[in-house]
Amino acid sequence: MKPLITQPGIYDLSNEQYHADPCPEPSLSNSIAKVLLKQSPLHAHFHHPRLNPNRASGSPSSEMEKGSALHRLVLGKGSDIAVLPFDNYQTNKAKEARNCARAEGKIVLLKKDFDEISACAQAAKAQLLQREDCSELFGPGQAEATIAWKSSGSWCRGMVDFLPDNPRVPLFDLKGTTKSASPHEWSRSLVSEYRTQDRFYARGLKALRGVTPQPMRFVVVEMYAPYAVSVFTPAQSLMHVADENVTCAIRLWSECMKTNRWPGYAHMAHVE
């Protein structure tokens, strides 16, 4: 089967097409890069859709489906939303409707959850429109843009939640949470969980557009009333560390792809 992507560029693909890895050969994503850095090449091989196509993906959690719906309602891009007229999934009829909608690739929400996430999206947009640091989020650009490029001889890919047409302005990443979006909580998450995302995508855009964009804006929305919003961007010190992390992940990925060796943890005694 011919890959959907045959040369580096910016593409308009569905979530399903992107997550199946549409590149000519297995490619490195930011999520797989994090697995390489936090665990090992063996774990990265296990979680990769092309290297381990038989892995169990599991059903999306309620929070994940709400987050996907928030993307669709705020950004206007993503899978269709199926709104089910049930109070819960305890009946066979409700379970069957949910399973059928998921099989069609839809985001599935109960009516009460759809009503809340709709209110959340409306409130989030109203807050973001008042922020100067998010003005480009509603300007010319492409939502859920797939970027694919080559680095150190290997394919890399990413999906940018919102990619402005202007190559010099920030990229945007939208995250819905059922927890707190307070700066105190999310500044730690930016360091531990999301630091490589900004530099990984910036490296791809530099390869494709010839310009490094400004640091990414992480937009975090609380998916419960009053639907507060926080916006974060990494500090220069964090970007320096993250850039080294990305270089390390790409180098390791390229070596594993070249040799087809995917080692686990280092062979050494662990001392507590």
Of 105 and 44, which is predicted with more confidence? 44
Residue 85 phi/psi, 5-degree rounding, is: -85, 55
C-alpha 102/C-alpha 68 separation (Å) is 13
Q: What is the mean pLDDT of residues 168-174?
A: 96
pLDDT score of 190 more than 80: yes
C-alpha 201/C-alpha 69 separation (Å) is 23
The pLDDT value given to residue 58: 73
Position of tokens 């690739």? Answer: 105
Position of tokens 């665990």? Answer: 39
Contact 174, 157 (CB under 8 A): no
Q: Supply the mean pLDDT for the chain.
A: 93
pLDDT score of 198 more than 70: yes
Which domains, and CATH codes, for the chain? 9-50+116-259 (3.90.320.10)
Contact 151, 203 (CB under 8 A): yes
Ramachandran region of residue 77, left (φ > 0), alpha (ψ -120 to 50) or beta? beta
pLDDT score of 268 more than 70: no
Position of tokens 């199946």? Answer: 20
The pLDDT value given to residue 89: 92
C-alpha 126/C-alpha 186 separation (Å) is 21
Q: Who contacts 188 (Cβ-Cβ below 8 Å, separation ≥6)? A: none
Determine if the pTM surpasses 0.75: yes
**Alpha helix (H) ranges present in 142-261?**
183-192, 195-209, 236-259
The pLDDT value given to residue 65: 93
End-to-end alpha-carbon separation of the chain, Å? 49
Query: Residue 39: helix, strand or coil by DSSP?
Result: coil
Q: What is the mean pLDDT of residues 142-154?
A: 96
Query: Between helices 195-209 and 30-38, what is the axis angle to 10°?
Result: 130
C-alpha 46/C-alpha 149 separation (Å) is 23
